[in-house]
Structures are given as C-alpha cells and as structure tokens.
Amino acid sequence: MDLTVASERSSTFERAQPANLLTLDFGDPRGAAADVRRFARDHPIGGVVGVDDDTAVVAAAIAADLHLGVGNSESAALAARDKHVQRVTLAAAGVPVPRFSLHPLEEDAAGLAGRVAYPCVLKPLRLAASRGVIRADAQAEFVTARERLRRILEQPEVAKCGEWARQFLVEEFIPGPEVALEGLLVAGRLHVLALFDKPDPLDGPFFEETIYVTPSRLPLLEQGAVRQVAQDAVSALGLRDGPVHAELRVNERGPWLIELAARPIGGRCSAVMRFETREAGCGMREASLEELILRHALGLPLPSLERERRAAGVMMIPVPGAGVLREVRGVAEARAVPLVEEIAITAHPGQELVPWPEGFRYPGFIFARGETPAAVEAALRAAHGRLHFVLEPVRA
C-alpha cells in the first residue's frame, strides 16, 4: 500500500515527497480534514489511521469528511479523548466507572480537600501515560497533589493545548489488580486481541507502568466480565472502528473501567503482540498489530485475530531517577537472560530522565516470550535487574 504520513511539523523531505508527507494542524481536526480533502484530489485516500490520542480525533474527522466507510464519528473519538466527557458518557450508560467530579484549577484546594472522599485520584483531562495522575489519601496530601498537578498543567506546552488544561478530575480510587485490553473494533464489535495483566501493583501515589504480560492469569469468568465491560464502554462512547486500548481494575465488585482510548497500545509496546495468519499459498506467517490495523482501515480481508499461542510480555523500564542519562550498562547481560528477545533503550545519552508524575517517557523497553506468563514475567524482572543506568545530576 502507498503511505502518506501526516505530522504537525513539516518534514524536511515534504517538498521532495509531496505524495507521502503532509503537514496538518492536529489542534484543528476539521481544518485538517479540509486540507486532506484537497490533498486527496491528487492522491486518493483509501483509509486513515491515527496513532495516538490526538490523531485519533483527527483521523475520525478525516474519515467522516472523505466518507471512507471505516472510522469513528468525531463525537465518539472526542468522547474517548477527554477523560471528563468519557466519565459522563459511561456513567450515564451504566458502565462501572469510579465516582468523579470536575474542578477548575482555580478552586480553593484546602476547601475542596475537605469535601472529597479518600483515597482519591487527581488527574488531568487529556494527558497520557499517567502523566499528572496522583493519588491522595488525606487532606494534606490532596493539597500537595493539586499543587503538583497545577504546575504540570501550567507548563507552557501543556497550558497552550486548550481550556481542558485549566481543569482536573477528582476520582474515587478503585483498588484491585489492573489489566489492559487491546482490541480491534470492526463495525462496532470489539475483538479482543490480547488481555494483559499488570503484575506490579498500581497503588500510587504515582502510576508509572512497568510490566504487561499476556495471556492474563485472571480467572476466565473475570476475563469475560472485563471483555463485557470494555464492549459496553465502546458501545456507550459510540466507537465503531479501529484499535482500542482499555484499562480496567478488577475487585470483588467486578471490573471497573479506568480508561478507554481509541488508539493502539502506545510506544514500542505493540511489538509484544504477534498474530498468526494462514494465507492462501503461503502457509503460516506472522502479522503485526499494525498490519491488522492497516488492513482493517482499508477494508482488506483480516487475517485471524488470534494472538500467537506463547505467552509474551514487555517491561516499560522504570525511570531510574531524575538526572541526565550518561550510559546504560549491562544491556548484553540483560539480553542474555533466557526468554528475553529484545532490550530497546530508547533514551539517548545526554537526555534528561524525568520521574513520574511530571515525566511520561520510559527510558526503554524489555521484551520476552515463553511458555507461561510467570516465566515471561520472571525473565523481564531478571533482565531489568542486570541493567544499570548511569545518571548525572541535571545542571541548573
């Protein structure tokens, strides 16, 4: 297939490759769709795929404008994009979500701290990767957390993004193990591609992720309930097509929907998923998540949506501390751990590493495959134990 990549900032090569590179204003989905309509006169477009939270909305606007047939409505994409709109929509439809309330940043924190129930979670409306999500167990913690969140939301590159950056959500903290569900929506029906356990407890106060392992070790009955809640959430939001990434917590009261995004799993993590495809004349071959997403967007036949039989996992490597990365030692030793397939160090020497909740970038990823989720998890931990990050203090 021919590919055109749209980005917010112009690529140096755009003039040399006008059919393949395009600059769009992602902050203005309708304007972007109009630009694409003009572009499509010379370069017909068969499908459109967003790659993250912002471009999911832009892709929806483009699909609607071009009458592509496969895609989400802009309102559904927006309802998935904004955590407050999402909570309101899901609560109204009876999907189990935490109790929540919306507050302006200007609201008196001490007064509010006396009114909310504990433990609670403070969170921004449109950031990602748990950036700015903070748990508070008591009034004093709430006031500190609100201050910290305010500073994050007032960083210029966040503050300029829109009115949503002047508000935040306070939610009831839902305890219990957390899972991530990767799915593909085909005409409104959710196909579960993988259900990942997150074996490290996510109890806060910050929520940097670490290990994802599939298949899930949750009892099958609970897995079924998780799928059902995810499908109910998709239907309530009105999403129809394309990848979804959902996060749920499960406790004695059943599954709770923490987040549903109309995009694939982020960063490098999609590499953990492989699909087995039987093709006429070719026998079995492996397909990536990206292949499934592109085929679906173009209305091409979908191969099997069955993930390979083996267990697989990824560790988003925790930020080892605040500082400037000098080097990473032990990569070869970590790669030598049985079942480990790849160590991808994505941070580069000289890069500043920022811990959560201000930070949102992992310094790298570890991938492993094996017969059981427990073996994969153990391999990820062993590999991580062999890595050593050398940091320098950040110069003021």
Residues that bind ligand ADP (CB under 6 A): 98, 121, 123, 127-131, 133, 171-174, 178, 202, 207, 247, 249, 258-259
133 binds, among ligand ADP, Ca ion, none (CB under 5 to 8 A by kind): ligand ADP
Using rule CB under 5 A, residue 259 touches Ca ion: yes
Residue 150's H or E segment, with its range, is helix 139-153
Neighbours of 68 (CB within 10 A): 18
* Bond before 18 cis per omega within 30 degrees: no
Q: How many residues bind Ca ion (CB under 5 A)?
A: 2
Q: 146 or 249, CB closer to ligand ADP?
A: 249
User: Measuring CA to CA, which residue among 317, 308, 322, 331 is closest to residue 391?
Assistant: 322
State which residue, 74 or 247, has the beta carbon closest to Ca ion.
247
Could you tell me the smallest distance in angstroms from the CB atom of residue 192 to Ca ion?
18
Residue 173 CB, shortest distance to ligand ADP, in Å, is: 4
66/258 with CB nearer ligand ADP:
258
Q: Retrieve residue 63's tokens.
A: 């699909």
Please say which residue, 53 or 259, places its beta carbon nearer to Ca ion: 259
Question: Measured at CB, which residue is nearest to Ca ion?
Answer: 259
User: Whose structure tokens read 């433990």?
Assistant: 119
From the list Ca ion, ligand ADP, none, pick the one residue 227 interacts with, judged by a Cβ distance below 5 to 8 Å according to partner type.
Answer: none
Nearer to ligand ADP by C-beta: 45 or 128?
Answer: 128
Which of ligand ADP, Ca ion, none does residue 369 bind to, with CB < 5 to 8 Å depending on kind? none
Residue 54's binding partner among ligand ADP, Ca ion, none (Cβ under 5 to 8 angstroms by kind) is none
User: Based on CB atoms, which residue is closest to Ca ion, 70 or 260?
Assistant: 260
Site for Ca ion in 285-304 (CB under 5 A): none
**Residue 176 CB, nearest approach to ligand ADP (Å):** 8
Within the chain, strands assigned E span 5-7, 21-23, 100-104, 120-123, 134-136, 167-172, 178-186, 189-198, 211-214, 242-251, 254-261, 274-279, 283-288, 311-316, 323-329, 340-345, 352-353, 364-370, 388-392
Footprint on residues 190-249 left by Ca ion (CB under 5 A): 247
Contacts of 45 (CB under 8 A, 6+ apart): 4, 36, 39, 62, 66, 68
The answer for residues whose C-beta is within 8 angstroms of residue 217's C-beta and 6 or more apart is 197, 373, 374
CB nearer to ligand ADP: give 64 or 121.
121
HSE-up of residue 58 (Cα within 13 Å, Cβ side): 23
State which of positions 317-376 bind Ca ion (CB under 5 A): none
Amino acid identity, position 296: H
Rule CB under 5 A: which residues touch Ca ion? Answer: 247, 259
